[in-house]
Amino acid sequence: MTRDEIRREVIDALSRVAPEGQYDRLKPDRPLRDQLDIDSYDFLNVIVHLHATLGIDIPEADYGKLSTLDATVAYLAAKLGA
Amino acid sequence: MPSLGADMESGVLVQWLVQPGQQVKRGQVVAVVETQKGAVEVEIWEDGLVDRLVVQPGTRVPVGEVLATLAGAGAPPAAAPAAVVAPAPAVAAPPSIPTLRPPPPAATRVKASPAARKRAEELGLDLTAITPTGPHDIIAIEDVERAAKARAEQPPPVVKPPAPSAEGLAAMRQAIGAAMARSKREIPHYYLGTSIDVSRARDWLTAENLKRSVKERILFAALLLRATALALKEVPELNGFWIDGRFQPSDAVHLGLGIALRGGGLIAPAIHDADKKSIPEMMAAMGDLVQRARAGSVRSSELTDATVTVTNLGEQGIETVYGVIYPPQVALVGFGKIVERPWAEAGGLYVRPVLHATLSADHRASVGHRGALFLAALDRLLQEPEKL
């Protein structure tokens, strides 16, 4: 899976919990929570969705590594060996 | 037409979910009503047999008007058109979601054993979504357990809420304004706050979540709700309603949960019998309620019978909540963000995760001393998370 594909999966997962987000204007190096107004319940749903689509179990201790879009893609790419 | 808020004057009957001649049970959803605050599923308040549907769908009806008549159990329908649908108490409901969703599909009567009903209620499962496997198409407790297991294995359904319309939001702002103006006008608030070291609670939850699959993970908020419900049992003056010039305590703890809606709305529907829910059950109930609130499918009882409200604004990074009580409730519990702070204890200085908890309470119903006992109980309960 390429980084672009991972990025698309992440945006798909985010757009399910925050459908009104302006994803074309998302700053990839800025915190997702602020830009999309997602809370921990939304975030948990994103993690659950990524687990279902990518098969990656993200431990709670790693949640801090998923703060921005770039960081999330990098984290998942490392996990997938992409 | 039930009053779903002190400021509600009328509602539009959108859809009937029952027919004349049908047996109904207290708590069953019988109709959908569109209010200033959005679509609400109206539950019936008595058992009985539907006699006549008086109001046609699409009609605007003032509060208090008869929507349908019930025949008393065993009585001939024509002779005793006794109870009206949902003579709900005129209590101020928290403002609800403006919704544009289509009405839900017509419900069919669900047959289930009492044990199955109770279990489904505990788990926050919808009986109409459960398939019976036993004889006579009656849902048994095994069916409920199987549905719970299936749900745990599925990713939570993701809800795409309708974009709230400008008028919907304006109506909701108006409803929030009316309820809060009444609160500030009538309720003599007092405010207390305390800092709680949550290192034990957080460590316990971290260890607990390590044992759980992604879908079963518990949010810290579920612990806070559990501790709040138990602390309220110790200080019952904070749990109930101020109605007709006196405090009416509630045996049940129905925790109103402040839920921010995308687009700027706010709603505070109740988690029923929160004091009887374990932490995993609380998490399930919370998830269910948040999703339904954002999808615009809360029930009338959830909007009107919260006995106290909890507001958690920690997500937004603030440390302290100064809450405004929802009338006719008499207290609001607020939680801020968990922050690392220097913490002096027994002559040593440590860095600890600290949570600021506040209580806004109605001075007519309780005094500061009792409010202080509530926050002290909350602190004590959070120091022994394994016992929660």
B363 pLDDT above the threshold of 90: yes
State the best of B214, B335, B337, B340 to mutate against chain A, taking most chain A CBs within 10 Å: B214
pLDDT in tens, B112-121: 776 777 777 7
Q: Taking CB atoms and an 8 Å cutoff, what residues of chain A touch B209? A: 60
Q: Assign residue B281 the CATH number of its domain.
A: 3.30.559.10
- A-B C-beta contacts closer than 8 Å: 47
* Residue B10 belongs to domain spanning: 1-90
Whether B168 maps to a domain, the answer reads: no
Contact call for A20 and B209, based on CB within 8 A:
no
Percent of chain B scoring above 70 in pLDDT: 83
The residue out of B90, B113, B136 marking a domain boundary is B90
List of residues 6+ apart from B203 with CB closer than 8 A = none
Q: Any bridge partners for residue B10, and if so which?
A: B62
B95 pLDDT above the threshold of 50: no
B199 shares a domain with B146? no
| Cβ atoms within 10 Å of B282's Cβ, excluding its own | 25
Contact call for A40 and B219, based on CB within 8 A:
yes
Q: Any bridge partners for residue B354, and if so which?
A: B197, B339
- What secondary structure letter does DSSP report for B329? B
B357 shares a domain with B263? yes
Higher pLDDT, B263 or A54: A54
Dihedral over Cα of B21, B25, B31, B36: its sign: positive
Q: Assign residue B132 the CATH number of its domain.
A: 4.10.320.10
Whether B196 maps to a domain, the answer reads: yes
B36 pLDDT above the threshold of 50: yes
- Out of A44, A48, A52, name the one closest to residue B219 (CB): A44
Higher pLDDT, A41 or B372: B372
The residue among B277, B321, B329 whose CA lies nearest residue B303 is B329
CA distances to A54, B244, B324 from B10, in Å: 49, 23, 26
Report, in this order, helix, strand and coil percent for chain B, each rounded to 5.
Answer: 35, 25, 40
Separation between Cα atoms, residue A40 and residue B40, nearest integer Å: 27
Chain A residues interacting with chain B (CB cutoff of 8 angstroms): 16-20, 33, 37, 39-41, 44-45, 47-49, 51-52, 57-61
pLDDT in the model for residue B76: 44
B223–chain A nearest CA distance, Å: 14
Q: Taking CB atoms and an 8 Å cutoff, what residues of chain B touch A39? A: 260, 315
Whether B216 maps to a domain, the answer reads: yes
- Out of A41, A58, A60, name the one closest to residue B287 (CB): A41
B261 shares a domain with B236? yes
Separation between Cα atoms, residue B148 and residue B73, nearest integer Å: 34
The H-assigned helical ranges of A30-68 are 32-36, 40-54
Q: Taking CB atoms and an 8 Å cutoff, what residues of chain A touch B155? A: 45, 48-49, 51-52
3-state secondary structure of B23: strand
pLDDT in tens, A36-62: 988 889 999 999 999 999 999 899 889
Separation between Cα atoms, residue B219 and residue B272, nearest integer Å: 19
pLDDT in tens, B122-174: 777 777 777 777 766 777 778 888 777 776 655 444 433 445 567 777 888 88
Give the total number of structural domains in chain B. 3
- What secondary structure letter does DSSP report for B94? P
Whether residue B62 has a cis bond before it, omega within 30° of 0: no
Separation between Cα atoms, residue A76 and residue A69, nearest integer Å: 11
B219 pLDDT above the threshold of 90: yes
Whether B236 maps to a domain, the answer reads: yes
Whether B97 maps to a domain, the answer reads: no
Q: Taking CB atoms and an 8 Å cutoff, what residues of chain A touch B213? A: 57
pLDDT in the model for residue B161: 42
- Out of A19, A48, A59, name the one closest to residue B155 (CB): A48
- Out of B158, B213, B220, name the one closest to residue A17 (CB): B158
B3–chain A nearest CA distance, Å: 31
B79 shares a domain with B25? yes
Could you report how far apart the first and last alpha carbons of chain A are, in Å? Answer: 6
Contact call for B155 and A41, based on CB within 8 A:
no
The DSSP bridge pattern shows strands B29-35 and B10-16 to be: antiparallel
The full set of domain ranges for chain A reads 3-80
The residue among A20, A68, A26, A41 whose CA lies nearest residue B264 is A20
The residue among B253, B248, B247 whose CA lies nearest residue B234 is B253
B353 shares a domain with B230? yes
Domain A3-80 has CATH 1.10.1200.10: yes
Whether B327 maps to a domain, the answer reads: yes
ipTM at complex level: 0.84
Query: How confident is residue B81, by pLDDT bands cut at 50, 70 and 90?
Result: very low
Separation between Cα atoms, residue B342 and residue B352, nearest integer Å: 6
B178–chain A nearest CA distance, Å: 27
Q: Assign residue B43 the CATH number of its domain.
A: 2.40.50.100
B348 shares a domain with B199? yes
The residue out of B161, B185, B204 marking a domain boundary is B161
The residue out of B63, B90, B117 marking a domain boundary is B90
pLDDT in tens, A31-43: 998 899 888 899 9
pLDDT in the model for residue B260: 85
Query: How confident is residue B37, by pLDDT bands cut at 50, 70 and 90?
Result: low
Separation between Cα atoms, residue B248 and residue B317, nearest integer Å: 35
pLDDT in the model for residue B157: 43
B302–chain A nearest CA distance, Å: 20
State the best of B262, B290, B311, B337 to mutate against chain A, taking most chain A CBs within 10 Å: B262
B327 shares a domain with B204? yes
Contact call for B214 and A37, based on CB within 8 A:
no
Contact call for B215 and A48, based on CB within 8 A:
yes
Separation between Cα atoms, residue B273 and residue A46, nearest integer Å: 29
Please answer whether residues B350 and B181 qualify as being in contact, where contact means their C-beta atoms are separated by less than 8 angstroms.
no
Query: How confident is residue B87, by pLDDT bands cut at 50, 70 and 90?
Result: very low
List of residues 6+ apart from B34 with CB closer than 8 A = B11, B12, B14, B40
B111 shares a domain with B9? no
Separation between Cα atoms, residue A4 and residue A23, nearest integer Å: 14
Q: What are the phi and psi torsion angles at A69 (to 5°)? A: -65, -45
Q: Any bridge partners for residue B201, and if so which?
A: none
